[in-house]
């Protein structure tokens, strides 16, 4: 039988303070602070640091002796099942859940083993609507905050099912920002072929092949997807013989800087 928790009086933090703490990934004794537990959706386009932010939050909790539960969909297996890994090489084990798995039951099972201070969900765009509602039950029934991280739209500019449900059900929506090669804020993502032209058809879900995706502004998205514009390639390493997407060039430049 599910145990419904009643949240006692909190510590007097204001609503703004609470939101700022979560945005910074700073854990607080959630289960004991009135009104603190919420369902958060951190959304962005590709390569904005969603997974890195999740891993930083998990580290902050663990550093204080607290226990985050990290969830990732089984379909997210590019680094192996049950692994959350960022593009910069940080990784952590995670519970890999199936598309039809009850996430409330997953959390309840984990609670039988140890206390959970926070639930972190990677690639949240792959959640089903029912799973999003189950995560809201985790927040409402157990006073455990749930932080989800995922894409908002796919390469055709359409909402993922999980993202659509989170936009409707989440208490707080936080955009993680990145930029387009035009200098504007990137809000969309395009899938491109080997020649740099937009792919307009295909499955919504394609694991791996991040080099085929480029984050762009809405204006650039329309020019690429509907106007036939080729994705701009920026050579950050000064090597005109190599052709790379913006994301690939940025990654290579970062590797050079680290050396």
DSSP code at position 34? T
For the chain, helix (H) and strand (E) counts, in that order, are 7, 10
| 63 is known as an active-site residue | no
Residues 6 or more apart whose Cβ sits within 8 Å of residue 170: 38, 39, 40, 41, 148
Exposure letters 6-45 (e unless 16+ CB within 10 A, then b): eeeeeeebeeeebbeebeebebbebbebeebbbbbbbbbb
User: In the numeric block, which tokens belong to residue 151?
Assistant: 């894409």
Q: Are 174 and 42 in contact (CB under 8 A)?
A: yes
In DSSP notation, 155-223 reads TTS-B-HHHHHHHHH-SEEEEPP-B-TTSSBP-EEEEB-TTSPBP-SS-S---S-GGGEEEE-HHHHHH
Catalytic residue among 123, 129, 175, 211: 123
Active site residues: 123
């Amino acid at each position: 039988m599910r145990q419904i928790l009643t949240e006692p009086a909190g510590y007097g933090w204001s609503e703004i303070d609470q939101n700022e703490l979560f945005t910074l990934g700073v854990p607080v004794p959630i289960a004991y602070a009135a009104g603190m537990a919420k369902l958060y959706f951190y959304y962005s386009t590709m390569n904005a640091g969603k997974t890195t932010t999740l891993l930083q939050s998990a580290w902050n909790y663990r550093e204080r002796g607290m226990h985050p539960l990290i969830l990732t969909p089984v379909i997210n297996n590019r680094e192996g099942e049950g692994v959350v890994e960022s593009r910069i090489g940080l990784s952590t084990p995670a519970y890999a859940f199936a598309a039809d798995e009850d996430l409330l039951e997953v959390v309840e099972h984990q609670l039988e083993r140890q206390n959970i201070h926070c639930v972190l969900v990677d690639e949240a765009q792959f959640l089903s609507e029912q799973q999003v509602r189950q995560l809201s039950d985790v927040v409402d029934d157990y006073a455990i905050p749930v932080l989800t991280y995922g894409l908002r739209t796919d390469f055709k500019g359409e909402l993922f099912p999980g993202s659509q449900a989170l936009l409707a059900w989440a208490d707080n929506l936080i955009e993680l920002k990145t930029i387009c090669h035009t200098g504007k804020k990137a809000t969309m993502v395009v899938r491109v072929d080997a020649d740099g032209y937009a792919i307009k058809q295909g499955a919504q879900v394609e694991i791996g092949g991040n080099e085929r995706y480029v984050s762009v502004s809405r204006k650039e998205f329309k020019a690429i997807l509907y106007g036939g514009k080729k994705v701009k390639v920026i050579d950050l390493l000064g090597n005109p013989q190599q052709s790379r997407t913006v994301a690939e060039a940025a990654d290579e430049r970062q590797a050079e800087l680290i050396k």
